[in-house]
Every structure is written in structure tokens, then in C-alpha cells.
Structure 1
Amino acid sequence: MAEDTVAGLLDWFEASGGSLDRSSVGFTVFPGCGRGAVALQNIPEGHVLFKIPRNILLSTETSTLPSLVGLDRWREAKMHLGWVGLILCMMWESAQGSNSRWSKYLESLPEMFDTPMFWGDHDLEELKGTSVVEKLGKVEAERDFEDKLLPMVQSRPDIFLPDTIPVYYTLEVYHLMGSRILSRSFDVETDESEDDEAGPSDAADTSLGSAMEVDHPQEDAPAEDSEQTDADNPEEEEREEEEEPSGVSMVPLADMLNARYGADNAKLFYEKDELRMVSTKPIAAGEQIWNTYGDLPNAELLRRYGHVDMLPLPDGDLGNPGDVVEIPADLAVVSVLQTDSVVTKERIDWWLEQGGDDVVVLETDLEIPLALVSLIRLLRLSGDEWENTKAKDKVPKPKIEADILDVVRAVLERRLAEYPSSLDDDRQLLRDETLSLNKKHALVVRIGEKKILRDTLREVQKQIEASKGSGGGNKKRKVVPDGGDTGRASKRR
């Protein structure tokens, strides 16, 4: 972003009602981070860095496009589902040029991304074994472009002028706008509660969420009976999950702050009429002002933002302390079937109905996920035990025994085998100074995940050996089939 672009953005921001403490906050380019915010003087904790009026947030609520189209027609065309509506609003605002109230802001947004969404097939192969490629959603996004966005654009030449379509409403621009939302949007609460923090939500849910989401107040959590109602109506639940949250917004200035694991020293808070970026600890002059993305693992940092964190780790390596490994429940099914004759479709369906996910997460603490243990125990129940469990309407307790540890080990070994190269091979490759940036980033992601798998496997093996040494033995048993066909877990949250 050129200096004159930054100056134009700041002038527009203040002319639109925003306020910036220019004596405390500046914007500059940081090596390896790109442009970010810098403290121009010592900043105390609790200092308001800038205030953003809600009416300059760019969203489907503030853009006039949905009203021009007609709100009934907007919903009929399913523009309220996913991000397609917000993407179209951003395309249309860009097409208005200087007539758009957000023209200066849109000019300040990135024109290129290093995220895997824009990688070629050769580079994407380097991410094999990780969950990144599966989560790109490129096919689904392009289907929305063809089935929802283009028909809307072509049906209203009075709004989307035909000569602007090849410039502002192309698939390339669609992906660009989508990447801007993924990397820079906030999920801003629309109620009028004061002093609620606008920060990131749990990073495990990474399929659709905006870059920086609101931490909802505890009292706003849905009651148990409402959750049960959703579970009783899966079609309604699926529809609600697909709908675009009305609060997903592009937030000028706030999105210029960078983030790094454990480095945040400022957060966004919302009030009735404005949002405030506030320092959460003292910041020395010359230091970068960091927001938070929720301490995401490198796989998510790469998918959303096109970079990875390389920080000192306790073992002396460099990496991301927040790295995780996702393990599909299917691997537990396959591993159980190696030793037990059990048909699992009914059990998997019941597991999902009970709120179990089809993916468990392995973290750097090297603890065996309790959900994985519970799932394995469910799959290995005898026919009578299975019937009793259904009657109690509770999943098995995550009790770890020797035979469960054997299955866990098999699951982790299968997960590790999904990568096309070994950990040692990857470490050797990473020493090559001629690597492309994409390949280097993919290696960093793979290495971080493989280390978690390797180290957890070592811990599991220790537990297995300790169990055998204490006379626990390795019990295997034949399980009576409960009927139905073998099935795959089919619900991803």
C-alpha cells in the first residue's frame, strides 16, 4: 500500500467520523509482516487508539445494494447465504468508483494474496496430508459464483451495467473479494451491549468464520432446550449454519493491524454506535501494535492470510505453539475394523446426533483427545453394550485402557501415513534456501503437524508399555455386529 493511499484512507476515515490518535499510532511496513500499526510513543494499557463509527463498516447491512435489488429478491436469489452477498456488495461498491462512500477504503485493500486459494496444483500437492486443501472451498465458492452471483448480476442491467461486468464481476475478482473477507473481516455483534469485546472466537471452527470474530458474552449463549430444538430439526440447523451472520463486516483501519501468536497488545471493543481499538497492555514506542487472530495454527494462518508463524518452541525448534492436527473420525472406524467385526453406520450417526464431531483435534500438549477415546469405545461395544448405551442416551466415558491405546496408536499411525514424506525428509528440505515461498510455507505446516503426531505417538507407546508392564495386558475381543452398513462420519462442524 503506497503512502498516499494510506494518507487518503486516514483522511477519509476521519472525515467519515472516525477518530485516530495520530500522536500515538502510525502505520509503516514491518519486515516479514507487511504494513501494520506502530506505537509512535509509549502507550499505556487501556488507551483508545482509534474509534470507528458503525456506519462506516462495510457489510450487507450498510451497503445500499440489497435495497436496490429488493430484499425479497435478494433472499430469493439466496444472496443471504454464505458470503456471496457481501462479496457482491464489495464488487458493486468497487464498480461505483469514487461514488462509493468506501472508495478510499477499497483502494487500500490488498490486490494480491499468497494464500493457497491462488496456488497452482503443483504447489497444492505440497499440502497433501494437511486439512488446508479440503478447507479451501474453492469448488463450492465457484459454484456460488456461477449459480447465485452471475444470474443476479445478469438479471439487473440497470444496477450492474453490462460494460462493468468483465471488469468488476469476474471469477478472479470474486476470489479476490472472498480472500479479503476471509483475511480481514470481523464478526461484529449487532446488539447494543456496551463494553463487549470484539475478538476472535474458537479457532477450531475454521470452515467459514470471519478473520476476527466476536467473543459473545456468556449470558448470550443459547439455552439447552433451544439447542435440542435445532437437533430435532436438522434441515433448519443446516439452513442456519449456511446463512451469513449479519455481523460479518469489513472494518476500516482495524484490519490494518497484524497479528502473531501470543503477541497481541490491542483488541477491538464495540459499543452502541462505535467500535474502539484499545491497548490491552503497555506498548513501548517503536513497537508494533498487534491485534489477535485467536492464536491460530499455521495451517489456518496459511489458509486465511498466506503466512506462517515461526517462533521459538520449548524443544529449541522454530514453529507455532498453537499448531494442531485434525484427525477424521473415519480413521478410528478403519482402525477399529482391523480388530473388531463391528458395523458402524448406526453408531456413527448416533455419535453425531449426540453432538460428537467427525474430526478430533490433537494439540501440542500431546494428550489423547477424550473425544477420540469415547468414540473408539463406542465403536467397540458389544451388541448388548451398544443397546444399553443407546438406552442411557450417553456416549461412553473416555476411559483409557490397554486395548483402547492400541487403537489410538493405529489411528495416529494412519494419520501420519497420509503425508507423502517423512518428518526428517521435510526438515532436510526446509534447509534449501532456493525453496519457493509457497513450498517453504507448506513444509512449515507439515513439520509442525508431524511433530505433534510423532511426539504423541511416543507418549502413547510409553503408556502401552507401562500398561503391559503392570499386567494390564492387551485385550482384544470380537464384537457382535449391530446391523446396518459400514458408514463414514458425514457431519463436519
Structure 2
Amino acid sequence: MATEAKRPKTGDEKCVLEPLNNFLLWCESVQLTLSDKVYLSKEGTAAEYGMLAKEDIEEGHVLFSIPRDALLHQGTTKVKKVLEEGKKCLESASGWVPLLLSLLYEYTSSTSHWKPYLSLWPNFRTLDQPMFWSENERDKLLKGTGIPESVITDLRKLQDEYNSVVLPFIKSHPDLWDPEKHNLELYKSLVAFVMAYSFQEPVEDDDEDEDDDEKEPNLPMMVPMADMLNHISKHNANLEYTPECLKMVSIRRIRKGEEVFNTYGQMANWQLLHMYGFAEPFPNNINDTADIKMATVYKAAAQVAGSEADQQLLEDKWKMLCEMEVVGEKGVFIFGQSGSLTYHELYTTIKVLCMSSQIFEDFRENEGWEEDDEDDDNKMEQDLSFEGLAGLSEGWKRLLYAAATMTLDSYNEDVETDRRLMEDQRALAELSSRERRALYVRLGQKNILQRIQQLTKPAS
């Protein structure tokens, strides 16, 4: 579901159209209604399949609706009863195992009710999340973005889940699953498929007294037709949920020939690439973010803590922040297009790290409370916005500047090298799709980090 220019189509036209035509016939059979103002295509769309407007579409128009019994999930699959009986032994950290077992069965069944739908992804060759890249490619193109570390964690958890939960279950039901056919490789592809194409219905929080442990989990499901739409942050359609069906509705006027775009939420480019395998071209993503690791802020503070006493004081401050659960070993401070998005944690962290020894002792004796504390959320947000950074004290700015600089240094290429590449249309056109998407991710993050640098640069 990438949002970059389409390449010319190659291959047999019939091979392209047959799966789509079969899917549309299936849609009619399950009473999925598609507006006559739109059509599906592989031409003129952002990537792969997409939806285009045949004519002008007004705001509020129902582009399609799909009945709930046509959705694919653990409650509609043919193996529903077996999954329900084995519910306890299928529990996992991801919560995806029942859906994935449903897909393992339905994807390989020649008689599956969803075969025309699932046939749109033969062998899942179009999936291109970084989990399918080589480790060298991830390190070369994505170092510093946070994606390589996330992928390593994903692959480890995926393999553990398959070996400890999925494999024993399918071995105990040889009439439905075959370990040779339903192997780890297919499981990995289906995990990527769920990451890229599934939907989760919003949970209504009507009963505030209901115990969280008793609430039904928000489980993923496959929504035929909805997953044909590509994503951009400035989208023009939204998926709505009703008790009878799901509806895709236009949220603004859509011109004839324009592509219909859904949204996957307010997602930064690194999240889009990690989960979906694409990134919005820089600088189009209004939801792009950059992370500064909490540990990096500590390292920045350690740079100026020269004496042994200063180092010990810094350790005590950090320990206090950890006890307050303000910072953590793998935590990050997030910056968006207008400043810090984790301003409460960042404000508290910088404030404590910049305290004098006497003020910190008083702070520690009060267990993190200050009687005359006038810091509220509005002040914190304003001070750590891009409008407010320049007005911070020199000590605070030095700390932020050092942390942003360290983060920028963690990438393979500096920001100017990536910016020149982005501005060179010929060089950009010669990049592979992976190189181009990685560039969008890196440059979006670096642009935010460089702005932090510019606003906090210490006075010379």
C-alpha cells in the first residue's frame, strides 16, 4: 500500500484482471455493495490495487458497505469451533493467534469461502515490510530510525509464538492443519499480511465501572474491499462501523479521477514502513515524528558532569526519575511537527537533570513533590513546543541540543546528504523502492531533529 508513483505495468493483462474480477463477483455474492461512482484498479493508483472516483463524489457518500458475516476473523472462519474450544491454549502476547490460524486454514483451503478475496495476494509477494529485508539492508538503509531494532524484536516474538503456541495446536489437529504446509515461513507472511491489511474495531468505553480484564479485547479482522484502499495522512474517506455492516464514507468532496484514500491513523513514516511496507514521500506526512531515546538524554547530561560528585548526582537523579516511572531503559521522547509529544515526561526529566544539588535534595525528600510547583500541562507543552524551545534556559537548551546531535549522529548519513539526494530528481528516480522509502523515513526524522538543534543551539 505504498504512496509513491506507479511503475508501468508489465506482464499479461489477463493475469492482472482475473483475480480482481473474481473478487468483484464474490463481493456481489456476499452482498457487498459498491458505489457506481468508484472502481478498483491497478492503474492510476498509489500502489497495487486502489480505488478511484468515476465521477465527482460528494462528502458523506457511502463508497461501499460490507455485511459483518463477510468479514474474515476467528468468529466467521470454518474452524471457528476448534478455535473456540482451544481458546485458553491460544493465548499469546500478540493476541493474533486465532486470526492467524484462521488465515492459515482459509488461505490454503481450495474450498474457502474467502478464496476469491485471498487470491488477490498470491504468495504475498507484494508485502515488503522491513521484516522481509536482509539484516544488512536494514542496517544500511534504516540505521538510527528505530526500525531495525523493532524488526529484530518482531521476528523473535513471531518465531517464539509459532513454536510455542501455534505449532503444538496445529499438530493436535492434523485434519485441519499440516506443519509442512502451515510452516513458519507462511506464518511470517500472514503476520505481515495482518500487520498491513487488518482492521480493529474501536471499542466503545461506555461502562467506566467495568473491569478492564473483563472487557472484550479489540481483535484484528480482515475487511475485504476496505484493505484495497491506500493510505495518506490527508485522507478523504473513513471506515465506519455499525451493528449490521462496515461502511467506507467520503469525508470530503472527491473529484473525478482522484484516488480514494483511507487512513490507518496518525502514523509517522517509520511506523508506516515498519507495519505496512511503505512511507509517504517527504515532506507530505503531517504526522511524522522523531524519537530521542531517554538513554541518549542521560548520555548528554553525562557529557557535562565532569567531577565524580557530579556524576554521582546525575546517577541519583536518573534513579529518582526511574522510580517515578518518568524514564525507562528503552523509553523514548517523541517529537512531532510542532514540538514534543511526550512533553510531560521530557519536561520533568530535563527539570530534574538541571537541578542544583540542594534543590534536588529537597525534591528527593519530598518524593518528587514540590509545594510551589506551578508547572502544569499547558506550560510544559508550550515550553517544549517549537515555538517555546528558544525561550528555555541555556542549561535546558544545551541538554536538548546535545541529545538531538547524538541522535542525528546515529544515522549512517548526515541530514544534508539525504536532503541533496531528495532534491536530485534523477538520483531519486534511480533508487529502488526500498531505498526511496527508507530515505523518506530518515529525512522526516532528521528534519525534526535538525529543527530541535537549530532552536536550542547554545549561545557562542
Scaled to the shorter chain, the TM-score interval is 0.7 to 0.9
In structure 2, distance between residues paired with 1:81 and 1:293: 19
Q: 1:146 aligns with which of 159, 163, 166?
A: 163
Structure 1 partner of 2:409 = 417
Specify which of 297, 300, 317 is matched with residue 271 of structure 2: 300
- Equivalence for 1:405: 397
Cα shift at 1:32: 4.5
Equivalence map 1:358-397=2 (5 Å): 358-366=331-339, 370=343, 371-381=345-355, 382-390=360-368
> Which of 67, 70, 75 does residue 81 from structure 2 map onto?
67
1:297 CA drift (Å): 2.0
Secondary structure of the 1:49 match is strand
User: What runs of 5+ residues in structure 1 fail to find an aligned partner?
Assistant: 189-213, 231-235, 312-317, 469-493
CA contact (8 A) 1:378 1:395 kept: no
The Cα of 1:337 is off from its aligned counterpart by: 3.2
Kindly tell me: are residues 25 and 298 of structure 1, through their superposed partners in 2, closer, same or farther at Cα, counting changes over 3 Å? same
**In the alignment, is residue 259 of structure 1 matched against residue 231 of structure 2?**
yes
Distance 1:4 1:119, change over 3 A: same
* Matches of 1:172 and 1:383, distance apart in 2: 56
Q: From 105, 108, 115, give the equivalent of 2:117.
A: 105
Distance 1:278 1:176, change over 3 A: same
Aligned residue number for residue 5 of structure 2: none
Which amino acid is 2:143 matched to?
K
Name the TM-score, length of structure 1 as normaliser: 0.75
Change (3 A) 1:60 1:80: farther
Matching of residues 175-324 of structure 1 within 5 Å: 175-188=188-201, 214=202, 220=206, 245-262=217-234, 264-310=235-281, 318-324=283-289
Deviation at 1:182? Answer: 0.8
Deviation at 1:286, TM superposition (A): 1.4
Partner of residue 100, structure 2? 87
Q: Identity across aligned pairs (percent)?
A: 28
For residue 51 of structure 2, give the secondary structure of its aligned residue in structure 1.
strand
Alignment match of 2:142 (pick from 113, 119, 127): 127
Distance 2:329 2:79 in 1: 40
Q: CA deviation at 1:159?
A: 2.6
Distance 1:147 1:181, change over 3 A: same
Pairwise CA distance, 1:268: 1.0
Q: Check conservation: 1:336, 1:376, Cα contact below 8 A.
A: no
Cα distance in 2, alignment partners of residues 368 and 105 from structure 1: 39
Contact 1:297 1:322 in 2 (8 A): yes
| SS of residue in 2 equivalent to 1:390 | coil
Q: CA deviation at 1:291?
A: 0.9
Question: Structure 1 residues 306 and 69 mapped into 2: Cα distance closer, same or farther (>3 Å)?
Answer: closer
Which ranges of structure 2 fall in alignment gaps of 5 or more residues? 1-14, 384-391
Query: What residue is the counterpart of 2:446 in the other structure?
Result: 450
Superposed CA offset, 1:212-257 (max 9, x none): xx3x56x64957xx8xx98xxxxx8xxx9xx993431100111101
| AA of the residue aligned to 2:172 | S
Asked whether 1:427 is paired with 2:433, we answer: no
Q: CA RMSD in A?
A: 3.1
Opposite residue 150 of structure 2, the aligned amino acid is K
SS where residue 276 of structure 1 aligns?
A: strand
Name the TM-score, length of structure 2 as normaliser: 0.80
Divergent runs of 4+, >6 A: 353-357, 392-396
Please state how far the C-alpha of 1:43 moved relative to its aligned partner.
1.4
Per the alignment, residue 18 of structure 1 pairs with 32
8 Å Cα contact 1:37-1:257 kept in structure 2: yes
Distance 2:206 2:82 in 1: 33
Q: Assess if the C-alpha contact under 8 Å between 2:45 and 2:52 holds in 1.
A: no
Match of residue 455, structure 2, among 454, 459, 464: 459
How far 1:356 sits from its partner (Å)? 12
d(CA) in 2 for partners of 1:85, 1:444: 35
Inter-CA distance 368–59: structure 2 relative to 1 (3 Å threshold): closer
Distance 1:356 1:28, change over 3 A: same
CA separation in 1, counterparts of 2:288 and 2:245? 34
Q: Which amino acid aligns with 1:446?
A: R
Deviations 1:162-185 (CA, angstroms, capped at 9, x unpaired) = 4xx323x12221111111111111
- Does residue 46 of the first structure (1) align with residue 60 of the second (2)? yes
Letter of the structure 1 residue corresponding to residue 58 of structure 2:
P
Does the CA contact (< 8 Å) of 1:74 and 1:80 recur in 2?
Answer: no
Asked whether the 8 Å contact 1:132–1:303 carries over to 2, the reply is: yes
Amino acid at match of 2:302: L
Q: Describe the shift of the 1:335–1:142 C-alpha distance in structure 2 as closer, same or farther (beyond 3 A).
A: same
Query: How many residue pairs get matched?
Result: 409
**How far does residue 105 in structure 1 lie from its aligned partner after superposition?**
1.3
**1:294: how far off?**
2.3
Conserved in 2, the CA contact under 8 Å of 1:187 and 1:247?
A: yes
**Cα-to-partner distance string for 1:409-451 (whole Å, 9 max, x where unaligned):** 1211121121122112333455435433222322221122112
- Displacement of 1:69 in angstroms is 4.5
Structure 2 residue identity aligned to 1:138: L
Task: Tell me, yes or no, if the aligned pair for 1:319 and 1:444 is still in contact at 8 Å.
Answer: no
Alpha carbons 1:265, 1:290 under 8 Å: kept: yes
Give, in whole Å, the separation in 1 of the partners of 2:225 and 2:245: 13
In the alignment, is the contact (CA less than 8 A) between 1:354 and 1:395 conserved in 2? no
